[in-house]
């Protein structure tokens, strides 16, 4: 019999449910996608009482825009997700510098642990904010 595990997290919007007035929740894939983005965009030391959670992506974004920095970002993504997101197993991380838009295209492919789903992917663009 196939295993099926559900995941639930609070929505980062903190909007109330229109009927129950409870906080909205995100489930399954949406919860994992939200968690991945939150972990990667959190700086180490930013969360009170949990100084190790997060990644060092912000320091790599201010390095020269090249494949060397892309390799650093790729390693940061892998390490962060390996250490702090036990619901997934990362199979591939692709980071491509984009000179035109001054940032990096990031593609993460992963498998959700405890489910028989097909592999998932999340894509986003990393850029300097200053």
pLDDT band for 16, please (50, 70, 90 cuts). Answer: confident
- Only one residue has tokens 């790599």, namely 60
The pLDDT value recorded for residue 122 is 94
Distances in whole angstroms, Cα of residue 53 to Cα of each of 17, 35, 41, 105: 29, 12, 11, 23
Lowest mean pLDDT among 34-38, 53-57, 116-120: 116-120
User: Residue 36, SS3?
Assistant: helix
Radius of gyration of the chain (CA): 16
The pLDDT value recorded for residue 14 is 61
The pLDDT value recorded for residue 1 is 38
Domain ranges of the chain: 8-127
Fold type of domain 8-127: Nuclear Transport Factor 2; Chain: A, (3.10.450)
The pLDDT value recorded for residue 11 is 67
């Amino acid at each position: 019999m196939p295993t099926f595990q559900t995941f639930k997290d609070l929505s980062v919007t903190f909007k109330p449910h229109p009927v129950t007035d409870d906080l909205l929740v995100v489930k399954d894939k949406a919860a994992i996608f939200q968690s991945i983005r939150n972990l990667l965009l959190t700086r180490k030391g930013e969360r009170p009482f949990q100084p190790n959670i997060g990644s060092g992506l912000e320091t790599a974004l201010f390095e020269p825009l090249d494949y060397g920095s892309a390799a650093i970002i790729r390693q940061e993504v892998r390490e962060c997700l390996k250490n702090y997101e036990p619901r997934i197993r990362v199979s591939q991380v692709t980071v491509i510098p984009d000179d035109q838009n001054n940032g990096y295209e990031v593609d993460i492919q992963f498998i959700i642990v405890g489910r028989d789903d097909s592999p998932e992917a999340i894509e986003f663009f990393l850029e300097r904010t200053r």
